[in-house]
Amino acid sequence: MDMLSSVMEVLALLALNLAIGVIGFIPSFLVTGLNINLLGLTGGIAISLLGEIFGAILGFYLYRYGFSKVQPSWKKSRFWHFMHSRSVGTVFFGILLFRLVPFIPSGLITAGASLTPIRGSMFFIASSLGKIPAVLVEVAAVYGFTQIVPSGYQYAAALFVLAAAGLIWMRKRKKDAAGSRQ
């Protein structure tokens, strides 16, 4: 029974990490701390990397699908043409460089990449190569934080960040809804 609960815990953490990777705007460091606390440093690194890498590729295809459904008039914009006129090599190295910088919203990079002509396999390689060092830096920062700050304060800080993000999202959504009625 203990083995089953351990497997279920790892699968639940993997699903949570994938969801964070797909969504792309929720700070992954919140889950990284949870990964480390529940699975230890090595397990936390592994599950964080898997979630970030495979969440990004899932997000890439979801964004690409969503952008394929936009109104055709939007595809005539200068932004759309700019994104589609980039060479695959330029996009590849852009993704790689942006992924190397930790704490940049992953969803922004993924959404931007999905607007370009890069293939999913090339996105996967560039994104993965860039995410490995970025996740290691994130894990080091979070691990240091978890060693210094008591866990009660860690959970309070995580809840505060999530609550603030939720309030900002709800406020923006309310503002957007009010703007669309006018």
Q: How far apart are CA 61 and CA 108, in angstroms?
A: 14
Helices (H), 69-150: 78-84, 88-100, 106-114, 120-148
**Residue 23 domain flag:** yes
- State how far the alpha carbon of 30 is from the alpha carbons of 7, 74, 78, 124, 156, in Å: 21, 35, 36, 24, 11
Q: Which residue has the higher pLDDT, 124 or 11?
A: 124
Q: How far apart are CA 106 and CA 53, in angstroms?
A: 10
**Residue 111 domain flag:** yes
- Of 13, 17, 21, nearest in space to 58 by CA: 21
> Can you give the pLDDT at residue 104?
75
Q: Which residue has the higher pLDDT, 47 or 177?
A: 47
- Helix, strand, coil shares of the chain as percentages rounded to 5? 85, 0, 15
**Residue 182 domain flag:** no
**Residue 181 domain flag:** no
- Of 171, 100, 110, nearest in space to 138 by CA: 100
Computed on alpha carbons and rounded to an integer, the radius of gyration of the chain in Å comes to: 18
pLDDT in tens, 44-58: 999 999 998 999 999
The count of domains in the chain is: 1
pLDDT in tens, 3-32: 888 888 888 888 988 888 787 777 787 788
pLDDT in tens, 63-120: 999 888 877 777 777 777 777 788 888 889 989 998 887 667 788 889 889 888 899 9
**Residue 44 domain flag:** yes
Tokens of 133: 């060092």
Q: Are 135 and 158 in contact (CB under 8 A)?
A: no
**Residue 180 domain flag:** no
**Residue 31 domain flag:** yes
**Residue 179 domain flag:** no
> Can you give the pLDDT at residue 181?
65
Q: How far apart are CA 107 and CA 136, in angstroms?
A: 19
Q: Are 73 and 139 in contact (CB under 8 A)?
A: no
For tokens 């200068």, what's the residue? 78
Rounded to the nearest integer, the mean pLDDT of the chain is 85
Domain containing 115 equals: 2-174
> Can you give the pLDDT at residue 46?
93
Kindly indicate the confidence band of residue 142, based on its pLDDT and cuts at 50, 70 and 90: confident
User: Cβ of 21: how many Cβ atoms within 10 Å?
Assistant: 27
